[in-house]
Amino acid sequence: MKYKDYEAAFSQARLSRYLNACAGDKNKALILYRYNLKLCQKFYGVLGLFEVVFRNAVNEHYKRHFGDEDWIRTQIHAGGMLESSPQVSDVTRYISKLSDAGKYTHDRLVSSVSFGFWTYLFNKQPFRKGGQSLLAIFPHKTKGLGQRAIYNELMEIKSFRNRIAHHEPICFDMDGNKDVEFAQSNYNQILKYVGFLGYNKNELFYGLDVLPDRTIQKIRDL
């Protein structure tokens, strides 16, 4: 395929960012586009594993804290931790969908609600209503790192995750130059929180081709 064929397939507007970042070199632009796709693919694995261990830690914590195996459904009701949460409508929708299909269980609800639901639990109001105990899921967190800082950093990871989910590039800086610092810093942030949760990153990701170091370096070298 010629470059104009790729423009027709992917759109001129989408490819133009890569072309500009590569000083008009069409071959490099296409290579960078593919490297960005590969980098996003790598992060799907990293983010997927992180999301699972993160939400499971929160879920187990609140099951113990509330003494309730179905705490999410309980806490969206009046007087609950989540009664005025912007997450209520989504949680209610998932509960109805699962119940209507005769498939409702708490575990299925846990896997259905979004990553945004879990990060929201570190916001000031739900954190306080939840007994200000949620930081206990991070036994190895940096000393002195509090609720607000953790919430902000989790929101950065969420924003990064959403960029990938919406097929947005992660290989540019704010000015459109080729740059992997954004991806690298988020990668480091994810690994930091994996460590905070008490996992060894090499063991957690063992045997899985998910770590994006080589692709990051290829983009740097392009």
pLDDT tens column, 194-213: 999 999 999 998 877 667 88
- 21 Cβ contact list (under 8 Å, min separation 6): 29, 32, 171, 172, 176, 177, 178
Please give the share of the chain, as a percent, with pLDDT higher than 70: 99
pLDDT of 22 reads 96
State pLDDT tens for residues 155-200.
Answer: 999 999 999 999 999 999 999 999 999 999 999 999 999 999 999 9
Q: Distance of CA 194 to CAs 8, 44, 53, 66, 148, Å?
A: 41, 15, 8, 25, 18
State pLDDT tens for residues 39-72.
Answer: 999 898 889 999 999 999 999 999 999 999 999 9
Write a three-state SS string for the chain.
CCHHHHHHHHCHHHHHHHHHHCCCCHHHHHHHHHHHHHHHHHHHHHHHHHHHHHHHHHHHHHHHHHCCCCHHHHHCCCCCCCCCCCCHHHHHHHHHHHHHCCCCCHHHHHHHCCHHHHHHCCCHHHHHHCCCCHHHHCCCCCCCCCHHHHHHHHHHHHHHHHHHHCCCCCCECCCCCECCHHHHHHHHHHHHHHHHCCCCHHHHCCCCCCCCHHHHHHHHHC
State pLDDT tens for residues 102-154.
Answer: 999 999 999 999 999 999 999 999 999 999 999 999 999 999 999 999 999 99
* Domain residue ranges in the chain: 3-221
pLDDT of 122 reads 97
147 in Cβ contact with 124 (< 8 Å)? yes
